[in-house]
Amino acid sequence: MNELQRTEYLTALGVTSYMPRFCLPLAPQPVQAVLPPPDSAGAGEGEQPASAAALMQAVGASVDPRPEVPAKPTAPAPMEVERVIGSITAETKSPEPQVQSAPVAAPEKPVAPFILSCWWLGEELLAVDSREPGSALPVESLFGNIARALGWHQLPSQRDKLKWPLAENPFAMAAGVSDARETCRSWLEAACARKSVKSIWLMGEQAQSFCAPVSLDDSIADWGGTSVVALPSLTELLTEPARKRDVWQLLRKLYPEQTRSQ
Domain for residue 187, yes or no? yes
| DSSP output for 7-50 | HHHHHHTTPPP---SSPPTTPPPP-PPPPPPGGGGG--TTSPPS
Residue span of the structural domain in which 167 resides: 114-254
Q: Concatenated DSSP letters for 100-167?
A: PPPPPPPPPPPPPPEEEEEEEETTTEEEEEEE-TT----HHHHHHHHHHHTT-TTS-EEEEEEEESSS
Tell me the pairing of strands 220-223 and 199-203. Answer: unpaired
Percent above pLDDT 70 for the chain: 66
- Total domains in the chain come to 1
- Cα separations (Å) of 85 from 72, 73, 76, 226? 21, 19, 12, 74
Domain-embedded: residue 201: yes
pLDDT of residue 113: 84
The tens digit of pLDDT for each residue in 205-228 reads 999 999 999 988 888 999 988 999
Task: Say if 93 falls within a structural domain.
Answer: no
| Chain segment 187-210, per-residue pLDDT in tens | 888 888 888 888 999 999 999 999
**Residues 35-91: tens digit of each pLDDT:** 667 665 444 445 555 555 665 565 555 545 555 555 555 555 556 656 666 666 665
Q: What is the pLDDT, as a whole number, of residue 42?
A: 47
Model confidence pLDDT, tens digit, residues 139-182 = 999 999 999 998 888 889 888 888 888 766 555 555 788 888 88
Average pLDDT over residues 1-5: 74
Residue 200 CB coordination number (10 Å): 23
67 falls within a domain: no
In a domain, 178, yes or no: yes
Q: Answer whether residue 140 is part of any domain.
A: yes
Q: Is residue 261 part of a domain?
A: no
Asked whether residue 230 is domain-assigned, the answer is: yes
The DSSP symbol for 216 reads -
